[in-house]
Structure 1
Amino acid sequence: MSLNALSRVPAGDLGARIAWARLVEPGDPAAAQRIAAVGAEAALHGVDPASTLGQQIAVRLPDLDVERDLEIADALGTRLVVPGDDEWPGGLDSLANPAFCLWVRGPLHLAEACERSVAVVGARAASGYGLHQAKEISAGLAERAHTVVSGAAYGIDGAAHEGALAVGGRTVAVVAGGVDRPYPAGHAGLLSRIGDAGAVVSEVPPGSSPTRWRFLSRNRLIATMSRGTVVVEAGLRSGSRNTAKTAIDHHRVVCAVPGPVTSAVSAGCHLLIRDGALLVADAAEVAEAVGPIGELAPVKRGATRAGDDLDPIHRAILGALRVQKATTLDDLAKQCGSSPREVIGALGVLSLNGLVDGDPDGYRRVRGSAST
């Protein structure tokens, strides 16, 4: 079949990239290699009709109309972003087979939003625990000025977007179909809100269907346009683990939220943690892992009690004392295996700390003081 119809493609890099996005699947390695070697326009017009790539292009060529795609994009309020534009997320350049171009709907400047961003992903069939964690972590990240990036799917993805929107934060939805085809249909309202306040992004042209392989392809964008990835819930076989693997392969930080060891929907997170992902429990810990140096999470400690910093002998004597009944110096020495002199010294320290009282009958532990 002849490729003469390619002559209708408008001159320039943008027209060629739109054509590539129509003619081949996202991340097509043969197309990506040609574009990397000679540029999008020269690669398009230099395809050998007899080659595998040429035959592949010929199948879709009758439906190619770049001018129509540009008109549709304009009507949708969608802009085209290509490599080299100031809005192009630099992280995508690390992909072996990067996107040809991006359709972007929404006010967010994509590159700036991705400079400080975290992907929050996970299972579609999420538990109540997982949905709660995704919302809380995403809201906390948004409050810390991180953009929340996800895929707008049911479950964890949707909860992540909702969490960011709830606090007026920034969020980006990377979708597997055209930006004009809300998927899943139940998230049409959510995607509309993201488009109004954030950005809806796709590497396939308007009207394109969200096929199974395009979901896997869009995961590579989520993983590399973000500074790090958090997996909230994931089974042993899941697209979220695919996103995490891509993030690891491209030297991004990967975090995982633990769940019950009996939960199949958390099994993938536990495996990620065993393989080296950072265990995180809240937004502060994610921000510490993904953010710039010095953005530290508060140190978590149990409730402190008077006497927590005592030396072992002091702690032993305090534990031997009772509140209601006095204990003599000799009894304390016997119980603790210490000399009377050591016991007297320890009692002095404990008394200064307000932990013991003395009377003619001996020594008592002050009510409310810790004994362990």
Structure 2
Amino acid sequence: MGGANGLPGPGGANGLPGPDGPDAERLARAALTRVLEPGDERGGRWLRERGAVGLMRLLTGPGAPAAVLTGVGPERLAGYRRRAAAADPRQDLAQAAAADCRFVCPGSPEWPTQLDDLGDARPVGLWLRGRPNLRTWALRSVAVVGARACTPYGAHMAQNLAAGLAERGWVVVSGAAYGIDAAAHRGALAAGGATAAVLACGVDVAYPRGHAELLGRISGQGLVLGELPPGSHPTPSRFVLRNRVIAALTRGTVVVEAAHRSGSLVTARRAQQLGRLTMGVPGPATSGLSGGVHELLRGEALLVTDAAEVVELVGAIGELAPERRGPVFARDLLDRDTARVLEALPAGRPADLDAISLAAGTGTDEVIGRLYELHSLGFVERQGDAWQLTRRGPGAGVQSEATRRGGR
């Protein structure tokens, strides 16, 4: 017969499919989101070995499961059993549906299989609020994370970066916290793009409370997701463990402002462990909020300054950022021999042909031809038998090549 928590008994006598059916598995996994804390690798091992229905039966049935569920003491196991006995997955699913939420788990068509890279620490399942398909969105997503107490520079960079990613068809994933997270979500929303918030509480809980409106906008235009069932509150450890989902779900993680002790660095390092790209936006060396990012950049993280550079790293072959270079000056278009003659003219005073020829290392006949070419382009002017750089025009203020390169 069915158990008190609505799970199927050994024969599925309550009308649900048998213990190994997909509906029973989903129901058991929904129950286990109230039993196992996010990232519980011991519970993940039990789940892998016994299956969700089998694990719930062990935790709720009579007898002593300690002989089977090894690795914990009797008090800890008793805690698991109390949680399992109190779990009511049908009520949670009904509460979620009333809040326009849903539950997906491994084996569901919407499950993003990259989360399986977490091994026994992968989520038991995910509660979602929002219409988009999570699996489709996760295939083209980038995490943008950073400090809560960010500077105006950090907020500006996160917002612009997220807007640029959204405009290029990428999903911006973050944690809906104050600071960089909020700036990233708002940047994507302002661009009319896609964004997803990964919470450390129930997806029907507005946390932080000041972001109730923002979370409503995200769920209306994107996705809000988390591992915890409806009504669950956040804790410090849940925030830390939430970061592994952000890292595993996305193609890469960008850190915008982070001190040396920052949860954003936890996300970035977990992304590195999972073989994901880790990127950082540099900041002022004098800012404490740049220290963690710069530490990453000294390691395996890659420096990025805008969305195009991020897409070049995480996108498909051929999605290249535009070439970065300074302005093109008229002198940059001169051929090598003509430029050499131009370099030979001293700044601020005229020079005769012999002096120019000696400095350029070529004959006077060639120098004359090059000087007239430079004259037609406005670089030089004639002063009797001598030549000098023009005060205005393309050659005004021309420095030697060595000085120009060194002072750039």
Global fold match (TM > 0.5) = yes
Alpha-carbon displacement from aligned partner over 1:193-222 (angstroms, at most 9, x marks no partner): 111111100100111111011111110111
**Equivalence for 2:404:** none
Alignment-derived partner of residue 43 in structure 1: 55
Cross-structure match for 1:192: 216
1:63 and 2:86 matched: yes
| Residue type at the aligned position of 1:63 | A
Contact 2:343–2:360 (CA under 8 A) maintained in structure 1: no
CA distance in 2, matches of 1:342, 1:290: 52
Q: Cα distance, 1:6 vs. partner?
A: 6.0
Aligned to 2:131: 107
Query: Residue 182 of structure 1 corresponds to which residue in structure 2?
Result: 206
Partner secondary structure for residue 368 of structure 1? coil
The 3-state SS of whatever aligns with 1:95 is helix
Q: Which structure 1 segments of 5+ residues have no match? A: none
Q: Which residue number in structure 1 is paired with residue 5 of structure 2?
A: 8
State the Cα deviation string for residues 12-43 of structure 1 (Å, max 9, x = none).
Answer: 10111112110121111111112222321123
Q: How many angstroms apart in 1 are the aligned matches of 2:25 and 2:375?
A: 81
Cα deviation for residue 56 of structure 1 reads: 3.0
Shift, 1:311, TM fit: 6.0
**1 CA distance for matches of 2:131 and 2:380?**
66
Whole-angstrom CA distance in 2 between matches of 1:24 and 1:328: 88
User: 306, 311, 320: which one pairs with 1:282?
Assistant: 306
- Residues 86 and 174 of structure 1: CA distance in aligned 2, closer, same or farther (over 3 Å): same
1:236 lines up with 2:248 in the alignment: no
Q: CA deviation at 1:223?
A: 0.6
Tell me if 1:250 matches 2:274: yes
Instruction: For residue 84 of structure 1, give the secondary structure of its aligned residue in structure 2.
Output: coil
Q: What's the RMSD between the two structures over aligned residues?
A: 2.4
Q: How many angstroms apart in 2 are the aligned matches of 1:247 and 1:325?
A: 61
Structure 1 residues 354 and 72: CA distance shift in structure 2, 3 A:
same
- What is the aligned partner in structure 2 of residue 29 from structure 1? 41
Higher relative contact order (CA 8 A, sep 6+): 1
- SS of structure 2 residue aligned to 1:158: helix
2:56–2:84 CA contact under 8 A, matched in 1: no
Q: Distance in 1 between matches of 2:122 and 2:108?
A: 14
Q: Provide the secondary structure at the position in 1 that maps to 2:128.
A: strand
Q: Is the 8 A contact 2:31 2:84 kept in 1?
A: no
Deviation at 1:335, TM superposition (A): 4.4
Decide whether aligned partners of structure 1 residues 180 and 187 sit closer, same or farther in structure 2, where only a CA change above 3 A counts: same
Contact 1:333–1:343 (CA<8 Å) still a contact in 2? yes
Distance, in Å, in 1 between the alignment partners of 2:247 and 2:78 is: 31
Pair 1:119-2:131 in alignment = no
2:31 to 19, 39, 46: 19
Answering whether residue 228 of structure 2 is matched by residue 216 of structure 1, we say no
Structure 1's 277 and 226: CA in aligned 2 closer, same or farther, altered over 3 A?
A: same
Q: Which amino acid in structure 1 is aligned with residue 43 of structure 2?
A: A
SS of the counterpart of 1:307? helix
When structure 1 is superposed on structure 2, of 59-68 and 282-291 the one drifting more is: 59-68
Distance in 2 of aligned mates of 1:120 and 1:5: 45
Q: Is the 8 A contact 2:163 2:187 kept in 1?
A: yes
**Partner amino acid, structure 1, of 2:7:** P
Question: Which shifted more, 122-131 or 315-324?
Answer: 315-324
Q: Determine the C-alpha separation between the residues in 1 that align with 2:274 and 2:373.
A: 56
Deviation at 1:337, TM superposition (A): 5.5
Q: Specify the code of the residue in structure 2 equivalent to 1:82.
A: C
1:355 Cα offset (Å): 3.4
Counterpart residue type for residue 65 of structure 1: D
Alignment check: 8 A CA contact 1:329 1:340 kept: yes
Which letter maps to 2:303? L
- 2:95 matches 1:83: no
Structure 2: distance between partners of 1:113 and 1:136: 20
CA offsets 1:92-138 (integer angstroms, 9 cap, x no match): 11112110111100111111111111100000010000000000000
Alignment check: 8 A CA contact 1:9 1:16 kept = no
Asked if 2 retains the 8 angstrom alpha-carbon contact of 1:24 and 1:56, the reply is no
Q: Deviations over 1:291-326 (max 9, x none)?
A: 111111111111111122556664353244379865
Instruction: Give the 5 Å matches for 1:124-139.
Output: 124-139=148-163
Q: Structure 1 counterpart of 2:394, which letter? A: S
Give the TM-score normalised by the residue count of structure 2. Answer: 0.84
Deviates more, 1:78-87 or 1:362-371: 362-371
The answer for the alignment partner of 1:368 in structure 2 is 393
Query: Given that residues 378 and 393 in structure 2 are in contact (C-alpha distance below 8 angstroms), is that contact kept between their aligned partners in structure 1?
Result: no
Show the counterpart of 2:176: 152
Q: State the 1:363 CA deviation.
A: 2.8
Letter in 2 for 1:29: E
Q: Which stretch shifts more, 218-227 or 341-350?
A: 341-350
Contact 2:58–2:65 at 8 Å: present in 1 too? no
CA contact (8 A) 2:175 2:198 kept: yes
- What is the percent sequence identity of the aligned residues? 47
> Aligned letter for 1:42?
G
Specify the SS of the correspondent of 2:310: helix
Bigger mean CA offset, 306-315 vs 9-18: 306-315
Distance 2:138 2:193 in 1: 13
Q: May I ask how many residue pairs the two structures share in their alignment?
A: 369
